[in-house]
Amino acid sequence: GAVVSQHPSRVICKSGTSVKIECRSLDFQATTMFWYRQFPKQSLMLMATSNEGSKATYEQGVEKDKFLINHASLTLSTLTVTSAHPEDSSFYICSAKYLGIETQYFGPGTRLTVL
């Protein structure tokens, strides 16, 4: 149980375009979803936290207008990287948890490459 999926697993785009990444909880209702960014051989950096039906809360230094997060339902959250640039190339990972349980279940990640 507690499976989280992400789509796509890899995406390559041109500089200036927008990219949407989906995160789904497959077998539970995710009251809270998290988006992380991970650079090679580094730890996970929390970008934002979103609760279903509410606006996302962004960590300090993360541009809200660049990384748009929508948590429209209890099983789906999306991250849109707007006007992507090469420096946005990274491994983006979502996680999800349900009410009353502390454990975060992570998705498989999305490798974004901006040319």
Partner 1 sequence: QQQVKQSPQSLIVQKGGISIINCAYENTAFDYFPWYQQFPGKGPALLIAIRPDVSEKKEGRFTISFNKSAKQFSLHIMDSQPGDSATYFCAASIFNSGYSTLTFGKGTMLLVSP
Q: Which residues bind partner 1 (CB under 8 A)?
A: 4, 6, 34, 41-44, 46, 49, 57, 91, 93, 95, 102-109, 111
Smallest gap, in angstroms, from Cβ of residue 71 to partner 1? 15
Residue nearer to partner 1 on the CB measure, 17 or 99:
99
Residues whose CB falls within 8 Å of the CB of residue 82, separated by 6 or more in sequence, listed in order: 18, 65, 66, 67, 68
Residues whose CB falls within 8 Å of the CB of residue 78, separated by 6 or more in sequence, listed in order: 20, 21, 22, 23, 69, 70, 72
Smallest gap, in angstroms, from Cβ of residue 50 to partner 1? 12
DSSP state of 115: -
Smallest gap, in angstroms, from Cβ of residue 20 to partner 1? 18
Residue nearer to partner 1 on the CB measure, 49 or 70:
49
What single letter denotes the amino acid at residue 49? T
Residue nearer to partner 1 on the CB measure, 76 or 82:
76
Residue nearer to partner 1 on the CB measure, 2 or 13:
2
Q: Which two tokens stand for residue 100?
A: 């009353």
Q: Please, are residues 96 and 30 in contact by the beta-carbon 8 Å criterion? A: yes
